[in-house]
Chains A and B, each alone.
Chain A
């Protein structure tokens, strides 16, 4: 039986989060009433002209530098001509022959296997408006608020070999662009949109199989699911002696199938040509150097630093660097407890994460600030409070963030006992009450020590420091 290999390339459109549109001064904010954010230029009134928003260009350069691509010093805006009611000019301004970004790569990791996915290019273009088909009974509404929103279309090489890898590529890209602050990453609002080119071929065959294009798979899950079912469909067609038709297909998530949208024969001739309203887009070496200087530490670099310099486990480092906000939070917290990176990581990844999950909040909106969490970890590390006490403290802080750490420790009696006279009394009491166990230890069975420690802790109502108790017991027992 033939073993099949799938070959996947993704085209991802990301909305750049510049304040104004790529060729007009109108706002790009999401969710306004229809057409209130469409100016003369977005509506394509007769006589209006585009002027390139350099903020969008800067973001494209940021992306290019972050993925190690070549920034083309001179790129060309072209017109992609087609008629559609939500495309006001009858053409989309895009880049075609010479994009602003060429090459670069993104690393994916599936089941511990790291693979590099090459990028073909990334180019700037404008978004279209929206057609509203279901809001009027006898007409289609046009909302041009989105028209002219800057997009960066990132085209990968056909280097992806599985649906899972495609989904991971999307996740990595999502993490990167939000990290870089060039995209808000909001998948529901369409800030990242993915088309996938999918083909299969027998393993070992060089020649690519006929591909289909899967349009608008706009969540990580749908990228994976959609590609998966499309791969299965193609294999089934080929194994039953059929041929793959080059076409555009849609993923129907309800039925978990893909279906044909339009064939190659319907492919449009977009009649691309350089937009005569826009001179070549020139970026200077100085500009690129400036962007390079301001480039934030990239997720992968930061992950490596967390592992190598702070001694975190890979799992912890990966989790902390999934978003820039989490990593920033970690680093601020770490300043309060600089000697316990592992502790800080653990408190964020486990305890705080659970509170955030439960309340559906991002770390940016965490009720407990990074400074306060760092203070909490410091108190646990230096033995002022126990781990259990820390959990109580976090609960208190979460419920009422206005309280100070110290006030809660006092109010809730979380401070561990460090008065040695009092502790000594408790230890002596426990030894007296448990002569058998005491004897066993003295006979060399050190395992029983834990029992005695537990008894002391119980007697102290949890306020004794277990390490101090253990030390004191050992001293008394002469071991």
Chain B
């Protein structure tokens, strides 16, 4: 029996000592995926391919020592191109798109002999905070299936939380890994911008998008991060620096640790129950020897407006290629070229994507560019400077990942601004390009998980993960898994 709360590192050891086979592990995963089908966590599954691959790896293991990740079943957010498999981005417009190539992240994990079980559901083109904006229907939260799992990487978060896979990939443009990680009670990491190649990851907002991972624990995350980080000559924004080597430093939590706590994050809008749990988590750090200091992040209130100018602007251009000409959905009712474009894109994109394309087109338009796009770029600079100043005084910044716990499916669908406020604590990090993560900090009275948001200086993933690991050695929130009601 493999517990659904098993950590990746444990499964890796069990595989290496041949206590379990990869085939058993994958079969168990598919059994759970089936059992939890109501989550709607997956858009497509590749059971045949995965089991074949597992058998091959089990055979290879008898002959040679394999990578610690070999034989581990994984799921990719359906935003990563996977050769020969459907890559939909949760959209009708790519509902028939089979990529002829693997994203760099996908091929790196393939080289490690991990096993891809399937592609996870998401908000269309990663635009959303609830995973409801999917052409493939909403994802459900395994802690309470009437609730959203968060988004946009909700399928990956739900899959890891329910123990369907020990790890899954996601992307984070404004909080799309950390927010669902918080709402699903798991560990989610967004590395520094440029750490993980964006090649083959369908672009939403190129200057903000960053691939990352969902796991149960920080140590698991370290193992995954080491596998996916690294320079890629096919991505001009990829960093030519040494990979972070998180695993090696995971036990080396800093001797002295100063944690900055921004006052602004505990102001109006924060659910008091969430606030209490975060305060308790911070006290835990204090008892572990950390020093807490209060911070001001004066520009944090501008993060959401700034984000909702820059992200849609880039998206409006990035999504222009979905025009029905070369691949993907094309409207049947075409007349002339203009009509074909209009119909294809109106029928192929969902309402939230259309809203953002229109917003983005507007802010880039002649006469509005300076007032919106250029202004937002200046604000972005100020937000970055807020962080630079803060990190002169502290090692990490902590606060709540989200203002509330998971909310009801449908609750915020009619109010985009309310939906956008889910990212109020996370979006600034993307604007500044910093590494950040969410870890389970506790549960509210109704049993819903609360996430602690941790932000590190640029490229300091190793420190970030070692501090999270320290917390997880003294708490067991991350080991709690939702139980399937029968």
Contacts and interface: CB of A to CB of B under 8 A. Distances in A.
A64 B221 CA distance: 50
Given A47-B103, A81-B320, A277 B364 contact: no
B366 to A, nearest CB: 5
Given A273-B313, A278-B236, A47 B364 contact: no
A88 B326 contact: yes
B314 A47 contact: no
B445 to A, nearest CB: 43
A89 B203 CA distance: 12
Contacts of B87: 46-47
Interface stretch (B17-25, B92-100, B127-135, B174-182): B92-100
Given A43-B326, A45-B100, A45-B101, A51 B236 contact: yes
A50 B325 CA distance: 20
Given A83-B323, A277-B237, A271 B361 contact: yes
Interface in B360-402: 361, 364-366, 369, 373
A79 B207 CA distance: 14
B202 interface: yes
Nearest to B91: A46
Interface string B308-319: 000001101101
Indicate the size class of the contact surface on chain A.
20 to 34
Nearest to A277: B206
Interface in A260-287: 269, 271-273, 276-279
Given A49-B199, A269-B366, A44 B234 contact: no
B94 A46 contact: yes
B63 interface: no
B64 interface: no
A91 B203 CA distance: 14
Interface string B331-356: 00000010001000000000000000
Contacts of B474: none
Contacts of B80: 47
B200 interface: yes
B112 to A, nearest CB: 20
A48 interface: yes
Nearest to B194: A279
A279 B198 CA distance: 14
A81 B363 CA distance: 13
A276 B204 CA distance: 11
Nearest to B324: A85
B89 interface: yes
Interface string A93-134: 000000000000000000000000000000000000000000
Interface in A43-65: 43-52
A429 to B, nearest CB: 85
Interface string B148-181: 0000000000000000000000000000000000
A273 B320 contact: no
Interface in B184-237: 198-203, 205-207, 233-237
A34 to B, nearest CB: 13
Contacts of A40: 100-101
Nearest to B93: A46
B199 A45 contact: no
A279 B97 contact: no
B250 interface: no
Contacts of A278: 236-237
A273 B364 contact: yes
A271 B317 contact: yes
A48 B341 contact: no
Most chain A beta-carbon contacts within 10 A, residue among B198, B233, B316, B317: B317
Contacts of A271: 316-317, 361, 364-366, 369
Contacts of B320: 81, 83, 89-91
Given A271-B365, A279-B237, A90 B321 contact: yes
A91 B323 CA distance: 12
Given A273-B369, A273-B373, A47 B325 contact: no
A142 interface: yes
A47 B203 contact: yes
Do most interface residues of chain A lie in helix, strand or loop, or is the interface mixed? loop
Contacts, number: 98
B313 A45 contact: no
Contacts of B97: 46
A385 to B, nearest CB: 62
Contacts of A83: 320, 323, 341
A89 B323 CA distance: 9
A430 to B, nearest CB: 83
Given A81-B364, A273-B373, A276-B206, A49 B99 contact: no
Contact of B233 (A51, A85, A142): A51
B321 A269 contact: no
Given A52-B236, A88-B326, A273 B203 contact: no
Interface string A181-216: 000000000000000000000000000000000000
Given A88-B326, A89-B321, A273-B373, A46 B236 contact: no
A85 B325 contact: yes
B118 to A, nearest CB: 18
A160 B23 CA distance: 75
B368 to A, nearest CB: 10
A88 B200 contact: no
Contacts of B237: 49, 276-279
Contacts of A273: 313, 317, 364, 369, 373
A90 B81 contact: no
Contacts of A90: 317, 319-321, 323
Contact of B200 (A48, A50, A276): A48
Contacts of A88: 321, 325-326
Contacts of A279: 236-237
Contacts of B207: 276
B326 A44 contact: yes
Given A81-B317, A83-B320, A49 B236 contact: yes
Contact of A46 (B81, B233, B235, B369): B81
B240 to A, nearest CB: 11
Contacts of B369: 271, 273
A271 B313 CA distance: 10
A47 B97 CA distance: 12
Contacts of B373: 273
Most chain A beta-carbon contacts within 10 A, residue among B80, B314, B322: B314
A213 B325 CA distance: 30
Nearest to B319: A90
A45 to B, nearest CB: 7
28 contacts: A44-B321, A45-B100, A46-B202, A46-B322, A46-B327, A47-B80, A47-B199, A47-B200, A48-B200, A51-B235, A79-B317, A81-B364, A83-B320, A90-B320, A90-B323, A142-B326, A269-B365, A271-B316, A271-B317, A273-B313, A276-B205, A276-B206, A277-B203, A277-B206, A277-B236, A277-B237, A278-B236, A279-B237
In the A-B complex, the 6 residue pairs with the closest CB atoms: A90-B320, A276-B207, A276-B206, A271-B364, A47-B200, A46-B202
Given A271-B316, A272-B364, A276-B207, 4 more contacts: A46-B202, A47-B99, A47-B201, A90-B317
Interface of B: 80-81, 87, 89, 94, 97, 99-101, 103, 198-203, 205-207, 233-237, 313-314, 316-317, 319-323, 325-327, 337, 341, 361, 364-366, 369, 373
